[in-house]
Amino acid sequence: MTSQSTIKNTEQQWGWPSKSLHWLIALLILIQIPLGIYAEEMENSPLKLELFGWHKSVGIVILMLAILRLLWRMAGTVPALPDASAVQRRLANLAHTVLYGLMLVLPLSGWIMSSAANRPVSLFGLFELPALVAPDDAIKVMAKEAHHVAVDILIVVLVTHIAAALYHHFKLRDTVLRRMWF
């Protein structure tokens, strides 16, 4: 049986729900980026439509998990950065804020883009989600541009986030990475 201290976040450690959501979302994002890029570069074909169907479904799952993760984070404690300077704390907070924002903006912009293109968004073919906007070429173009810019920002922030975690683990030898590990 799991104790309450391993479920809830503490000042020193992330609880298992936070860890599980972190790593599940990370895995899905690492699948999502190449899947979207690959599908985007393909010639029009049934396979391209199928891959984009998967891309949209995974995006919706990321959106749902990100909302759950954000609510869990807001309801609990966030472990403090060990011996971090004010600048490090601000940069870490900025990076996390941008990551959470992108986990919301990317799926929503993709959903808006599909809606504006009059292309349905379904969750793995189980059911169709409602369109967020009416068909509109101008909205489609804006949503597509926002989506592409957000992907570029996400890649930069992810690389920085991973590099910072590795820096903390190997150079500073603190607990930043270990406390998010299972």
Average pLDDT on 117-124 reads 97
C-alpha to C-alpha distance for 26 and 41, rounded to whole angstroms: 23
**pLDDT, tens only, 136-163:** 999 999 999 999 999 999 999 999 999 9
Question: What percentage of the chain reaches a pLDDT higher than 90?
Answer: 88
**pLDDT, tens only, 15-73:** 999 999 999 999 999 999 999 999 999 999 999 999 999 999 999 999 999 999 999 99
> What's the mean per-residue pLDDT of the chain?
94
Average pLDDT on 82-95 reads 89
At residue 84, the pLDDT reads 81
At residue 5, the pLDDT reads 55
C-alpha to C-alpha distance for 43 and 36, rounded to whole angstroms: 13
User: What is the per-residue DSSP string for 43-97?
Assistant: PSSHHHHHHHHHHHHHHHHHHHHHHHHHHHHHHS--PPPTT--HHHHHHHHHHHH
Q: What CATH number is given for 13-180 in this structure? A: 1.20.950
Does residue 89 sit in helix, strand or coil? helix
Q: Is the pTM of this model over 0.85?
A: yes
Tokens of 39: 């599908």
Determine contact, residues 29/55, Cβ cutoff 8 Å.
Answer: no
